[in-house]
Amino acid sequence: MRRLASYSFVLVSLLIGISILSTVTPAQTDWRQILIPPLHSFQPKQPKRIQLPNGMVIFLQEDRELPLIDGTARVRGGSREEPASKVGLINIYGEVWRTGGTKTQTGDQLDDFLEIRAAKVETSGGVDSTTIGWSCLKADFDDVFKIIADLLHQPEFREDKIEIAKEGEYDNISRRNDDIGGIASREAVKLA
């Protein structure tokens, strides 16, 4: 009997709770009456444009939030100019430009040098340009920039690194039609 009474009490409590909740309706507010707080003002800094006597253009943007110096240099020339018989050449070039090192240091020596300083230097080939980019602490900038200058003026395309990059590119070429987005991008570039 006690058990039946406790079940009855729970059942009645649930029914009362459900009936109370079903009678409460949330206040409907028209979306046009919702107050939207104003956005904080945003004033982006404009980069400083510097043109060197040799025609190179530098865009300098200062950001003092962290003691880092990041940079990117773009050189005209990319996969758009590579012949059909040499598909993937710019990708191999972009990879080996960094991994091959310079005339004075191998790519592995550069890896060790940069790793100790928590810096990075990366190169890549694109559709219309090749790129070298870097990120380093402000204190290490002079040393890292010497590597950038060395890679720009005296890159060394070592044969072993070229072979590694070729193997990777053969794999990329064999799989490039696996992604329909990649097909569409390549065809769109041809049309432009």
CB-count burial class (<10 Å; 0-12, 13-18, 19+) for 126: middle
Q: What is the pLDDT of residue 15?
A: 73
Domain parsing of the chain, residue ranges: 48-191
pLDDT band at residue 44 using 50, 70 and 90 as cut-offs: confident
CATH superfamily of 48-191: Metalloenzyme, LuxS/M16 peptidase-like (3.30.830.10)
Predicted TM-score (pTM) of this structure = 0.66
DSSP3 helix / strand / coil % (the chain, rounded to 5): 50, 20, 30
Residue 41 gets which letter from DSSP?
P
Q: How many Cβ atoms sit within 10 Å of the Cβ of residue 132?
A: 21
Pairwise pLDDT comparison (181 vs 8), residue with the higher score? 181
Provide mean pLDDT across the span 105-116: 96
Measured between alpha carbons, how far is 145 from 121 in angstroms, rounded to an integer?
Answer: 10
pLDDT band at residue 23 using 50, 70 and 90 as cut-offs: low
pLDDT digits (tens, 9 = 90+) for 117-136: 999 999 999 989 999 999 99
Instruction: Tell me which amino acid residue 31 is.
Output: W
Measured between alpha carbons, how far is 99 from 109 in angstroms, rounded to an integer?
Answer: 10
Measured between alpha carbons, how far is 170 from 177 in angstroms, rounded to an integer?
Answer: 13
The share of the chain scoring above pLDDT 90, in percent, equals 48
Rounded to whole angstroms, what are the CA distances from 25 to 20, 22, 28, 84, 145?
10, 7, 9, 68, 66
pLDDT band at residue 5 using 50, 70 and 90 as cut-offs: low
Pairwise pLDDT comparison (28 vs 22), residue with the higher score? 28
